[in-house]
Structure 1
C-alpha cells in the first residue's frame, strides 16, 4: 500500500482527524512559506489549496488549507471540519462574505463562493470522495450535511 492510500484510509478515523486538526495551522504556514511545495506530511500528494476568507466577526483575513477538486475553471471544496458537529469557521465566513482568494502553487486568484446546487452536489461529491474518502465518515460522524462551495474566479 502506498503512502497516499494509507493516509486516505487513516483519514476516516477519529484519531487522525484529531491529529489533522492540531496540525492544520502548522501545515498552512508551511505551505504558504514553500508556495505549496511542502506539507507536514512531506510533498503534497493530494490536491490542496489555501482559501483566504474575511472573518465574519473580526473582518481580518483568515486562511485555511483545504482539499479540492476542479470543475472546469472552478474550485470545489467541502466544509467537513474533520467530522466535528459544527461547520468550519471558513464556511461561515464565505456565507457572510463570498469574496475570497485561492492560493495554489504560490499563485493567488480572487474567487466568488456559492453554495453548490443540488445538481452540482450530486455530480461533484463522487470526485470529492475520490480525493478524500474520509468525507463520508465525517458527514456521518457530524450528523450534518457538509457544506459544499463552488469557488469561481472573480471577474
Structure 2
C-alpha cells in the first residue's frame, strides 16, 4: 500500500503491460469469452468487452477493460497501462461516445460514454482506490489526469 511519502509503486515497462493485455485479449478470444472475464462481484471489479468505432478508421475496435458498477452505469479508467497519453478506446469514445459493452454471461448492450468531472469524478475515483490501494501512486506516474469514464445505458439501441 502506498502513502503520500512513498515513491510511486513500481510497474513493469510499458511493453510488458501492453503485451499482457494482448495475451489477455487472445485468451479471451480463444476461450469464446469464458477465460479471464468476470463480473464485478468477484473481486470488487470485473472485466467487460467494449466495442467502439475507430475515430480514424471507422471500423469496430474491441478492448477488454476493468470496470466497476455504479447503479446502472459502468465505470472504467482510461489509464493506458499507466503509460503517458490516453488509450485509443477513450479517444474513440471522445469522437463518438456511442458504444457496445458485453459483460460475462450477458447479451451486448448499448452505452453512451462520458467523462466524469468534479465531485462525481472524485467519488468514482475513491471507489476505484478502495479496490486498488496503489491507484494514486500509479496515477502520479502520469503527467496528465486519468479520465474516469462513465458508460451509461443508451436511451436506444445502436
TM-score for both structures, normalised by structure 2: 0.79
Offset of residue 136 of structure 1: 2.1
Matched residue of 1:142: which SS? Answer: coil
Mapped partners of 1:39, 1:146: distance in 2: 24
Query: 1:134: how far off?
Result: 4.2
* Alignment of structure 1 residues 7-46 onto 2, 5 Å: 12-15=9-12, 18-34=15-31, 36-39=33-36, 46=45
Q: Which has the larger radius of gyration?
A: 2
User: RMSD between aligned alpha carbons?
Assistant: 2.4
What's the CA shift for 1:56? 0.4
Q: Deviations over 1:8-46 (max 9, x none)?
A: xxxx43217643311212312322454543129xxx855
User: Within 1, Cα distance between the matches of 2:67 and 2:52?
Assistant: 16
Partner SS, residue 31 of structure 1: helix
Structure 2 gaps of 5+ residues are 1-8
Matched residue, 1:5 = none
Q: What displacement does 1:145 show?
A: 0.3
CA separation in 1, counterparts of 2:118 and 2:46? 24
Q: 1:29 to 1:153 in 2, by over 3 A?
A: farther
What pairs up with 1:107-118 in 2 under 5 angstroms?
107=106, 108-118=108-118
Question: What secondary structure does 1:123 align onto?
Answer: helix
**Structure 1 segment 113-152 matched on structure 2, within 5 A:** 113-152=113-152
> How many residues align structurally?
142
Aligned pair 1:87/2:82, yes or no? no
